[in-house]
């Protein structure tokens, strides 16, 4: 018997975590953080000893996409490329049952999108006995507008006001996609070559990883790299490293663009920039993706007149904009396209 328990992402889109119990073995699939409301975030703080965590890190093993890995006799899995962010994978878990047959439980993980730059598209769902699929955008469609056009409009409006553009961006994937689009827009002369600052140590390291993982690049990204073009470096681009360099951006005069984590404005260096810039009407804050309920990003998008940052209520006089089509999650139609690749129909979907 296979027992599947949902430990997160039930009633909310964050905290994805599944416990599979089979043949006396317990397997944890995914371990996403809860985001949003405080009662959800508190669930992230489990009382695990530091030593246990350090020992767990020492057991990590890299497994390539498509390679079967045996957990124990009768239980194995394979990763399938999902194109959501670099390294995102679905998990196909196969379990041997009575009579020598197998059942397959397929965990989609976060499904990526089609016709977006940098990464290869998601591999089609191959079919399974059971399918557990994400549904962050399962009941809606993305804005059909071109994110390049939307980004150009926001940048040009802010530049006309000679203001700073603050972009709270997820360090992995959203930052790299923004850099890719900004390079294209400058090359097309759709926007002026404004100074662009990347102020996030994690995003800096992620950008290096995105550039170096050639096997994960789509055809356009590979072609640009062969031509000697760095697709992730727009003109007038500068990476901010040290904390004192980040603080110096407080005196930066616009127009200019600052990209910093985190994407939902729940932490990271972006909070310092928001605290300093939100009271300025010339500032534009641009959100490039989903903002979970209860996050600072959601409150800003909903038009709250002040937000708490570092225990202080900060007035919001800045322009707040959103480019929802920059999401890295498949929407309802894209999930249908992904699932339509199944070679066999699943018995049940969750």
349: pLDDT strictly greater than 70: no
How much is the pLDDT for 348? 42
The class level of CATH for 147-326 reads alpha beta
pLDDT over 90 (residue 72): yes
Higher per-residue confidence, 98 vs 18: 18
Residue 287's DSSP bridge partners are: 322
Alpha carbon distance 153, 147 (integer Å): 10
- Specify the pLDDT at position 336: 93
Q: What is the pLDDT of residue 346?
A: 44
Is the pLDDT at 319 greater than 50? The verdict is yes
| pLDDT greater than 80 at residue 13 | no
**What tens digit of pLDDT does each residue of 248-270 get?**
999 999 899 999 999 999 899 99
The average confidence (pLDDT) of the chain is 91
> Which listed CATH number (2.60.120.560, 3.60.15.10, 3.40.50.300, 2.40.50.140) goes with 2-140+330-349?
3.60.15.10
pLDDT above 70 as % of the chain: 97
Non-local (6+) Cβ contacts of 125 within 8 A are: 90, 106, 108, 131, 338, 339, 340, 341, 342
3-state DSSP assignment of residue 301: helix
The sheet with strand 348-349 has its strands ordered as: 69-72, 75-81, 89-96, 102-107, 130-132, 348-349
| Distance (Å, whole) CA 250 – CA 236 | 18
pLDDT tens column, 177-194: 999 999 999 999 999 999
Residue 342: band (very low, low, confident or very high) from pLDDT cuts 50, 70, 90:
low
Residues 264-284 have a mean pLDDT of 95
What is the domain partition of the chain in residue ranges? 2-140+330-349, 147-326
Mean pLDDT of 38-50: 83
**Domain 2-140+330-349 and domain 147-326 have a common topology:** no
């Amino acid at each position: 018997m296979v027992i599947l328990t949902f430990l997160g992402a039930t009633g909310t889109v964050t905290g994805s975590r599944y416990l599979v119990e089979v043949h006396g073995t317990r397997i944890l699939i995914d371990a996403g953080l809860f985001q949003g409301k405080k009662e959800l975030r508190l669930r992230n703080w489990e009382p695990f000893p530091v030593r246990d965590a350090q020992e767990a890190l020492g057991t990590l093993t890299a497994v390539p996409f498509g390679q079967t890995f045996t957990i124990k006799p009768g239980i194995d899995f394979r990763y399938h490329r999902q194109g959501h962010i670099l390294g995102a994978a679905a998990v196909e878990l196969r379990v041997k049952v009575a009579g020598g047959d197998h059942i397959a439980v397929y965990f989609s993980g976060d499904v990526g999108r089609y016709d977006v730059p940098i990464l290869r598209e998601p591999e089609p769902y191959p079919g399974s006995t059971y399918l557990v699929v994400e549904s962050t955008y399962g009941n809606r469609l993305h804005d059909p507008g071109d994110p390049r056009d939307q980004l150009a409009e926001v940048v040009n409006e802010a530049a006309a006001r000679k203001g700073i553009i603050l972009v709270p961006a997820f360090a992995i994937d959203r930052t790299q996609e923004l850099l890719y689009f900004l390079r294209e827009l400058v090359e097309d002369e759709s926007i002026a070559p404004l100074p662009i600052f990347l102020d996030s140590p994690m995003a800096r390291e992620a950008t290096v990883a995105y550039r170096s993982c050639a096997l994960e690049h789509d055809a356009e990204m590979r072609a640009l790299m062969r031509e000697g073009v760095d697709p992730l470096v727009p003109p007038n681009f500068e990476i901010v490293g040290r904390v004192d360099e980040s603080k110096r951006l407080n005196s930066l005069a616009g127009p200019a663009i600052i990209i910093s984590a985190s994407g939902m404005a729940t932490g990271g260096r972006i909070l310092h920039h928001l605290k300093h810039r939100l009271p300025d009407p010339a500032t534009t804050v641009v959100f490039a993706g989903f903002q979970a309920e209860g996050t600072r990003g959601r409150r800003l998008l909903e038009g709250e007149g002040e937000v708490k940052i570092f225990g202080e209520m900060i007035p919001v006089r800045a322009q707040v904009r959103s480019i929802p089509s920059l999401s890295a999650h498949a929407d309802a139609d894209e999930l249908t396209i992904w699932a339509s690749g199944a070679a066999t129909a699943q018995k049940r979907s969750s």
